[in-house]
Amino acid sequence: MLNNIQWIEDRICIALRANESQRPFLFVVEWLFHGIPWIGGSILLAVFAISGRWPIEEQDWIVLLNIGLVLDLIFCGVVKVCVQRPRPLHNRDDFRYGAPIADRFSFPSGHTTRAAMLARFLERTVEMTPLWNNGMWLLVGIVALSRISMGRHHPSDVLAGVVIGILEAELTLQIPPRLRRTDTWVRTMTRNLVLLFFLIGLCPHQTAAWGYEEDDGPSNWDGKCREGQNQSPIDIRAADVEYAPLHRLHFVHYDNRGLITLANNGHTISGSGFNTWEAKQPYVMSGGLKHKYKLEQFHLHWADSDDRGSEHTIGGLHYPAELHLVHHREDLSFAEAVNTPGGLAVVAVFVTIGEETRPLESVVGSMKEVIHSGNRSDIHGFHTRRMLPGHIESFYRYDGSLTTPGCFETVVWTILSDPVSITRRQMDELRRIRSQEGDPYKYNYRPVQRLNGRKILYRPSQFDKAIFCGNSAATSTVLTSVLLYLVSRYF
């Protein structure tokens, strides 16, 4: 039942998703009903009213408005931390302000509760013409729709937000007159804020919906992450690999350069913005893929030591890091692709430590600006091809899932045989990146999952074809990959 409701909500989110031309307007709406300007502005107004000795009725009205806004802050904060519903998967995480811990969760929509609370409060306390009253509720509807269109919230989050906001206004208006007096205003505000932190402390909660710590790490991920049968990453072992006469994978427009945004989302660092390159947007095709897949973003996985860090392993051995280039079918939006079998194509590139600086040079150069969760930095003239190894002919292929919640089994995985190399200094810079908890990562990779009968295909290079044939090619190649790993790791 819940899965069906979630599926319906995902369809609604996809249908209402804003395009690039609409997002600037929606950012304005987002800011207009953000808590910072409303609570900060109302407090300043209250101080001005009291110090200016406004009529007592006006002072009481402003104080009551303050109480309502703080009540909204308390209630939304407590519910978000207790429910801990993740933001929609297609949320681009492009907030223009730093979000507190509670604001990383989705239920309910704080913007919508605030808008509905203000509308109901004004409706009950200010005489307005029907035109103004209807216009005010129309604005509430615009705020609610904007939260879905921006990818910030699920439809049920905003519906609940409207109901909660109306109830908050009614509760605020029931506050006895003596508590509205200015001589008790400071005490009321202080008590409300103390109550907020006390109630949040009572909730059994994590610092985020998911992460890589003991209490929110992979062993605690639910849904498909726990129940799925085609999960990723996997360990690539010789016995599970089959030779496959696949065509070469083509990386088209990967030599183009353009603007991307590097961001620390609290789980990893990612580069996005390739969709703004329009006709020059990189994509992959052929190599056994049934569709053309456009590059959406890239991100990295690593750990605090060289003997682990990659998500996929070769014969049980980790590389120090792993780069994921995430593509979606060209005929689908990213949100649609996530929910469509074969909708995503992820190219994984192992990262080893050596003398080469070019693969992640521009990324590492901006890392100092994205050390902390929520930080962002633009990179101009980004060259995508540099992130790939020199030889891209040989690769492994299997069907799997996303390696982060909700672990949707809609990914065609391509794992390049050859790694890229970065320097020790660059690896150290990567390990300085801090998680949402504020500390450098111990690790941010998911452990390998059961293969459950899946076969791993191997597409050899021309050199491999000349030497090996049949399944022995795959076996020998895996063994060669292990030897290459050992050489790069210890020599």
Residues recognised as catalytic: 267, 299, 301, 311, 324, 403
Report yes or no: 296 and 258 within 8 Å, Cβ to Cβ: no
Checking DSSP bridges between strand 321-329 and strand 293-302, what pairing results, if any?
antiparallel
Checking DSSP bridges between strand 411-416 and strand 344-353, what pairing results, if any?
parallel
* Distance (Å, whole) CA 40 – CA 466: 71
Q: What is the CA radius of gyration of the chain?
A: 26
Q: Which residue reads 């891209």 in tokens? A: 392
Amino acid at 331: D
Amino acid at 44: L
Q: Is the peptide bond before 273 cis (omega within 30 degrees of 0)?
A: no
* Distance (Å, whole) CA 449 – CA 403: 10
Q: Quick one: which of 215, 209, 261, 220 has its CA closest to 103?
A: 209
* Distance (Å, whole) CA 303 – CA 320: 7
